[in-house]
Amino acid sequence: MYGYGGMGHYDIHTEVIMREQWLRFFSKEQMIRVQEVIRANGMDGLYSEFGLLFIEPSAEASAEPIVDEATRKMTAAFRRSESTPWGFGGVHSCICGAASEAHDYFLPGGWITNSLCIHYLAYHRDAVPETELQKVMHLGSGMRFPRPRELKRASPQEFKNRAIDAIRSLEHFG
């Protein structure tokens, strides 16, 4: 894992492999823009223009998943995704307890998303802005019904961990 901060493993060989990976997901025109936004605003620039579904729901997961055209389009595209070569310090978890992975994913069509993208559409639809929903509706990988593990509903253990985290964060306030 290369990480945001330490590019310790970075060398010309890595660069060639990374470039090939980018080009599997982004057009040449998109790559020019990617370089511009990274130069101007770093990774924030990249995510603000090419990020898909980086949201933080503030309400509980719905009881049943919504598996409509949007969720199915996201599922089909996500099955063709690849993990980004950079990662984050730790895992992030959704308000409902569902854990996301420590890295993001490239999606066909020139997007970067996170491992909870299907989960957000299925269980937190009210938190998905219309602009993000429109991007999803334009994904061009067809439609697939998600499997239960792709929906990433929080497991009872994740749900419990969430409660423990909440108690710990309260302890900081004495």
Of the two residues 34 and 61, which places its CB atom closer to Zn ion in the complex? 61
State in angstroms the smallest separation of the CB of 31 from Zn ion.
33
Beta carbons within 10 angstroms of residue 53's beta carbon: 24
Binding mask 16-55 for Zn ion (x = CB under 5 A): ----------------------------------------
> Does residue 74 interact with Zn ion by CB under 5 A?
no
Q: Interaction with Zn ion in 87-106: which residues (CB under 5 A)? A: 94, 96, 98
CA 136 – CA 45 distance, rounded (Å): 20
From residue 126, alpha-carbon distances to 64, 81, 94, 108, 117 in Å are 13, 25, 14, 25, 14
* Local structure of residue 154 (DSSP, 8 states): P
Task: Give the range of 5-13, 31-39, 58-66, 71-79 binding Zn ion by CB under 5 A.
Answer: 58-66
CA 161 – CA 73 distance, rounded (Å): 31
Give me the residue label for tokens 């493993």.
Answer: 9
Buried b (16+ CB within 10 A) or exposed e, 125-149: bebbeeebeebbeebebeebebeee
Of the two residues 53 and 94, which places its CB atom closer to Zn ion in the complex? 94
Per CB under 5 A, the list member of 34, 52, 61, 151 interacting with Zn ion is 61
Task: Give the range of 57-65, 101-109, 142-150, 165-173 binding Zn ion by CB under 5 A.
Answer: 57-65
Task: Give the range of 6-14, 20-28, 44-52, 59-67 binding Zn ion by CB under 5 A.
Answer: 59-67
Helix residue spans in 1-155 (DSSP H): 12-25, 28-50, 69-78, 117-123, 130-137, 148-151
Of the two residues 30 and 93, which places its CB atom closer to Zn ion in the complex? 93
Q: Interaction with Zn ion in 127-166: which residues (CB under 5 A)? A: none
State in angstroms the smallest separation of the CB of 174 from Zn ion.
29
Q: Which residues contact 41 (CB under 8 A, 6 or more apart)?
A: 48
Interface ranges with Zn ion (CB under 5 A): 61, 94, 96, 98
